[in-house]
Amino acid sequence: MNTTLPAKTPCSAHDRANPWWRAAAVGLACVAVLGSASAQDKPPERDALRVCQDPNNLPFSNVDGAGIENRIAEVFGKALGLPVTYYSFPQRMAFIRNTLRYKVPGQDYPCDIVMGVPVGYDQVSVTKPYYRSTYALVFAQGKGLDQVKSGNDFLKLDPAKLGTLRIGVYDRSPASDWLNLHGLIDRGVPYAIMNADPQQYPGEIIERDLAAGKIDVAIVWGPIAGYFAQRIKSPQLTVVPLKSEHGVKFDYEMAMGVRYGEREWKQKIEGLIESQQAAIQAILKEYGVPIVDQSFEAPKEPGKQTAAAQ
């Protein structure tokens, strides 16, 4: 799957136990041994910020450095005093294995960081999050949907109107689950979330089909919705962020990913996430990313709340 496009199950349970942690040693001899091992394990100084990226995955990244993650990487590179280099591989199957974890014997890794992964993604050591977004409705203005300001508004449309809409969704995404949950699956126009064509990019559903009137509504991951909606000048498009519901998770916290075991590098990246937060948020705003808070999480089920309280 494309790790920058959260699917309905974007990750398995993440083992939060850092392999660097060890039981505390007792006695001077143990302290000396641990100090020696720590010095030996200290990673070499980096001569560049080496980023793993998809070469054609706007709004996140591309070979021209025009994506959100490219821009944030440049901010980090400047703060570190390092040049930024990229190792590109399409985010299809085995992206992490072919980038962050790829290593030829006798050579160094080609890249050291993935700039966007959902929190909980277990293929990498995940940093603290730097934004939360959600899936969103996108539709053309002046087509009978202008009163829609939320997912509930959309569902309350006249059934006759809902019954005519062509709703573009990626297969196996929260959007398709949502249509199924609300009895609208027959209105869905499915798009393959996995595509072998390296020229395919996730915004095509908006830029090519929604803008041309081939579909009436698209439901896509928020950064894709916001970026491509503002690129389209005619027709003007509206973006409506969706709240998660019981059984359908729309909102995700996004973080960065490094290799397991590289504790010092992870701490440095998390320090940059904190110190460069103003620049990061300005970039996200520029790209039209809908930023949401915890209110977009699904309400807790009453039974689970009671159990937690006990």
Contact between residue 55 and residue 33 where contact means Cβ atoms under 8 Å apart? no
Whole-prediction pTM: 0.84
CA 29 to chain centre: 46
CA separation for the pair 130, 116 (Å, rounded)? 9
- Which CATH number is associated with domain 28-131+253-296? 3.40.190.10
Same-fold call for 28-131+253-296 versus 133-241: yes
All residues at 6 or more sequence positions from 201 whose CB lies less than 8 Å from its CB, including other chains: 56, 57, 58
What tens-digit pLDDT sequence spans the chain (310 residues)? 344 456 543 433 233 222 222 222 223 223 333 333 343 445 668 899 999 999 999 999 999 999 999 999 999 999 999 999 999 999 877 999 999 999 999 999 999 999 999 999 999 999 999 999 999 999 999 999 999 999 999 999 999 999 999 999 999 899 999 999 999 999 999 998 877 777 788 899 999 999 999 999 999 999 999 999 999 999 999 999 999 999 999 999 999 999 999 999 999 999 999 999 999 999 999 999 999 999 999 988 766 554 444 4
CA separation for the pair 181, 261 (Å, rounded)? 41
Q: Where are the domains of the chain?
A: 28-131+253-296, 133-241
CA separation for the pair 310, 308 (Å, rounded)? 5
Q: The domain at 133-241 falls in which architecture?
A: 3-Layer(aba) Sandwich (3.40)
Tokens of 194: 């996995």
Give me the phi and psi of 261, to 5 degrees please. Answer: 95, -15
What share of residues in the chain are helix, strand, coil (percent, to 5)? Answer: 30, 20, 50
